[in-house]
């Protein structure tokens, strides 16, 4: 396995922090406090995107990192609209670098699959890498076959896909079928997002009165609307109470415990909300607890759908 392990002689932290809330539900003060708390906990991998909070996320992050830039891994994304036109991506990336106040970005993702534009998008990414403007190439929200298509294109260009960013949590386990095994096989780092299921797995929605993205964002509400997901959240809360460990800590640590060793991307609106997730970084989850948590939600069938043969 040749996952990204270090950058500029800096070991990559096992957890990352996602700044999607910076400049939105988290104002500058709250964002700065979460950045500082993440650094103090040992996180050096920070993730943003061109579209987050209309650019405020990149601008705030760029201001926070100035005094420790050489010790951090900074990632951003282009092509959220699925447009792989190099001119459009170049324009957006130039704006992102201005906001971040960075000549070079460590990781640049295609935020979504760009369809037929993928060959020229990969050529553009490879050119950015050759010019030293980016270090690593990433893909976000790609299916495994789409990743492997990009892997082939990258190989022909003399480079590689270094990192992917799929959704993965206790109630969104599709990544286990092909994406996570593919990462292990291809030596691709997996920085998975939404380890808390949009807050569902913290238990705050269990009484129907929780406030957050599931209550305010129709996309998240639909994404986590299935009955079994809410049943799993209740079961995780019961287990949390039984063993005296916060449900958010268990949810984040469970993601990190997968045999493919994903790097979960933590996020929050405040330091107080973030603390239980940061606690997952030092929480030791044994095999028995991992299995108990895994059993709280359905395991997806293998890619062949021959689930009866799964050992």
Question: Residue 52 catalytic?
Answer: yes
Sequence-distant (≥ 6) Cβ neighbours of residue 229 within 8 angstroms: 171, 197, 200, 297
Beta 10-11 vs 6-7: how paired, if at all? antiparallel
Kindly state the tokens that stand for 243. Answer: 């063993």
Q: How many CB atoms lie within 10 A of CB 150?
A: 24
Question: Which position among 52, 109, 136, 193 bears the catalytic label?
Answer: 52
Cβ–Cβ < 8 Å for 151, 161: yes
Q: Which residues are catalytic?
A: 52
């Amino acid at each position: 396995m040749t996952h990204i392990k270090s950058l500029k002689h800096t070991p990559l932290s096992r957890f990352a922090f996602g700044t999607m809330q910076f400049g939105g539900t988290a104002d500058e003060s709250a964002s700065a406090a979460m950045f500082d708390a993440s650094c103090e906990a040992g996180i050096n991998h920070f993730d943003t995107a061109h579209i987050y909070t209309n650019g405020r996320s990149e601008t705030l992050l760029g201001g926070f990192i100035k005094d420790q830039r050489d010790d951090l891994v900074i990632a951003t994304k282009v092509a959220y609209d699925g447009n792989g036109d190099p001119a459009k991506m170049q324009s957006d990336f130039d704006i992102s670098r201005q906001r971040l106040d960075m000549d070079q970005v460590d990781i640049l993702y295609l935020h979504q699959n760009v369809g037929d534009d993928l060959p020229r998008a990969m050529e553009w990414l490879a050119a950015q890498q050759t010019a030293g403007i980016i270090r690593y190439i990433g893909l976000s929200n790609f299916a495994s076959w789409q990743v492997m298509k990009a892997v082939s294109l990258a190989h022909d260009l003399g480079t590689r896909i270094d990192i992917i960013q799929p959704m993965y949590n206790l109630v969104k386990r599709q990544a286990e079928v092909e994406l996570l095994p593919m990462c292990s096989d291809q030596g691709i780092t997996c920085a998975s997002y939404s380890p808390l299921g949009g807050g569902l797995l913290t238990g705050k929605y269990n009484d129907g009165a929780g406030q957050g993205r599931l209550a305010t964002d129709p996309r998240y509400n639909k994404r986590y609307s299935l009955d079994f997901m809410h049943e799993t959240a209740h079961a995780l809360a019961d287990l949390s109470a039984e063993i005296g460990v916060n449900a958010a800590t268990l949810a984040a640590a469970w993601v990190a415990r997968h045999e493919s060793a994903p790097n979960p991307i933590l996020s929050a609106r405040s330091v107080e909300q973030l603390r239980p997730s940061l606690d997952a970084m030092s929480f030791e989850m044994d095999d028995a607890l991992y299995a108990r948590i895994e059993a709280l939600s359905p395991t997806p069938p293998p890619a062949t759908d021959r689930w009866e043969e799964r050992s």
